[in-house]
Amino acid sequence: MAHEYRFGIEEELFLADGRTRSAPRESVSDFHKAARSRLDGVERELLESQAEICSKPSTSFAETHEALAKLRTGLCAIGREHGLKVFAAGTHPTAVWTDQRETAKVRYRKMIETLQMVGRRSIVSGLHIHVEVPEPGQRIALINRLMPFLPVLLALSTSSPFYERHRTGLAGYRLRAYAELPRTGLPELFADDADFERYVRVMTRAGAIEDATFLWWHIRPSVRYPTLELRVADSCTRLKDTLAIAALYRCLVRLCVRRPELNAGPTGASRGFVMENLWRVQREGIHAALIDEAADEAVPLRRLVERLLDLVAEDAAALGCAAQVAHALTIVECGSSADGQIRAYEAAMAEGGSERKALSRVIDWLARETADCPL
């Protein structure tokens, strides 16, 4: 029987005060209690001004779409009851780190105690996608070969052009802020799973980490599940964008499994090109041109996406997600969330509005787009 490549999606969301459009200064524990009691698939996150929604493992994008749409609309409805706006983005445009409340959970308290100011400044939300692989013992080799695709997946998700009430000049500032934390970014080029397991063993025994869940790389093998977890993407404002990135990632995992020669034998230089491309995407989003290692040239993102869609056509057909994968081109043509946020901001400024009003307009746009997820 063919492997199913089951997948699951985790979306981290932000909260804003419905009146001020700033991150809530008072406790929102009542909101979280209501969300947990009324919705199945909602979790707390590091900060009180965040929440996470999770889909169950599935092979159906229609099923996952329905589940996440219900969670989004349900959470937005509960937010309105509590005077809050709920939205998905890589960073919170109006939040200031010194005003944030930490979630009262043992794991998060330990993290803040260890990370101190670095942890408290981490006002970021990501999209995490798990894809089950046929041979979990080969996940490190797959990670090494999937690395060159990560910048494209990030570009499609860019949704963090604002940070701490400032326009950053970047389309995706989230990874810049997240890089303050240790053990983030691209994983090392481990030789194989045994090499990775040795790394985890030594790090754990030395007291550097409690377990492998404290490795917050852009892509990592899951500790609990036989999956590869994608963590490079910003939290997507539009649910369709989330599903497109999940579908493309799922297809790329299958592609690398069925074509073991693809991106085989990565080197330090190969990893360096990925690092440069990640920066280009953070700076320019979907408007970036990325280095093509094989061609020795920079290629516009649209052309790379078109190539990827051709490359995974067989996989998309086999996994039943051709329509979701095709939406990647719509993102390139119409813009990612970062482009929408900047348009809302610039329109408000052109009308003579203040910086504060322009950022409030961005929050309103984010909340509308997050809730707009018809089945």
Segment 321-331, tens digit of pLDDT: 999 999 999 99
275, two tokens: 């690092």
pLDDT at position 1: 61
Contact 119, 101 (CB under 8 A): no
What's the rounded mean pLDDT across residues 239-246?
Answer: 98
CATH class of residue range 103-124+131-371: alpha beta
Phi, psi of 178 (to 5 degrees): -65, -25
**Token pair of 23 as six digits:** 């991150």
Residue ranges covered by each domain of the chain: 103-124+131-371
Separation CA 243–CA 251 (nearest Å):
12
Percentage of the chain lying above the pLDDT 90 cut? 85
- Report pTM: 0.96
| Contact between 314 and 262 (Cβ < 8 Å) | no
Q: Where residue 225 falls among pLDDT bands split at 50, 70, 90?
A: very high
d(CA 238, CA 366): 9
Question: How crowded is residue 265: how many other Cβ atoms within 10 Å of its Cβ?
Answer: 8
- Interatomic CA distance for residues 85 and 317, integer angstroms: 38
Is the pLDDT score of 34 beyond 70?
A: yes
Q: Which of 152, 92, 178 is nearest to 367 (CA)?
A: 92
- pLDDT score of 49 more than 90: no
pLDDT at 100 over 80: no
- Predicted local distance difference test score (pLDDT) of residue 103: 65
The Cα 302–Cα 286 span in angstroms is 8
Instruction: Quote the pLDDT of residue 108.
Output: 72
CB atoms within 10 A of CB 204: 14
Q: Which of 228, 241, 233 is nearest to 68 (CA)?
A: 241
Rounded distance, CA 27 to CA 86, Å?
Answer: 15
- Pairwise CA distance, residues 356 & 348, whole Å: 10
Over residues 239-253, the mean pLDDT reads 98
Mapped onto helix, strand or coil, the DSSP state of residue 307 is: helix
d(CA 153, CA 228): 15
pLDDT at 373: 83
Residue 339 token pair: 């482009």
pLDDT at 80 over 80: yes
Label residue 306 exposed, middle or buried (CB < 10 Å: 0-12, 13-18, 19+).
middle
Q: Which of 234, 237, 85, 91 is nearest to 162 (CA)?
A: 91
CA separation (Å) from 295 to 78, 264, 290, 299? 51, 16, 11, 9
**CA 264 remoteness from chain centre:** 26
Joined tokens for residue 272: 């360096």
pLDDT of residue 27: 86
Query: Are 366 and 13 within 8 A, CB to CB?
Result: no
Residue the block writes with tokens 């804003």: 16
Instruction: Flag the least confident range among 40-49, 79-88, 146-155.
Output: 40-49
pLDDT exceeds 80 at position 77: yes
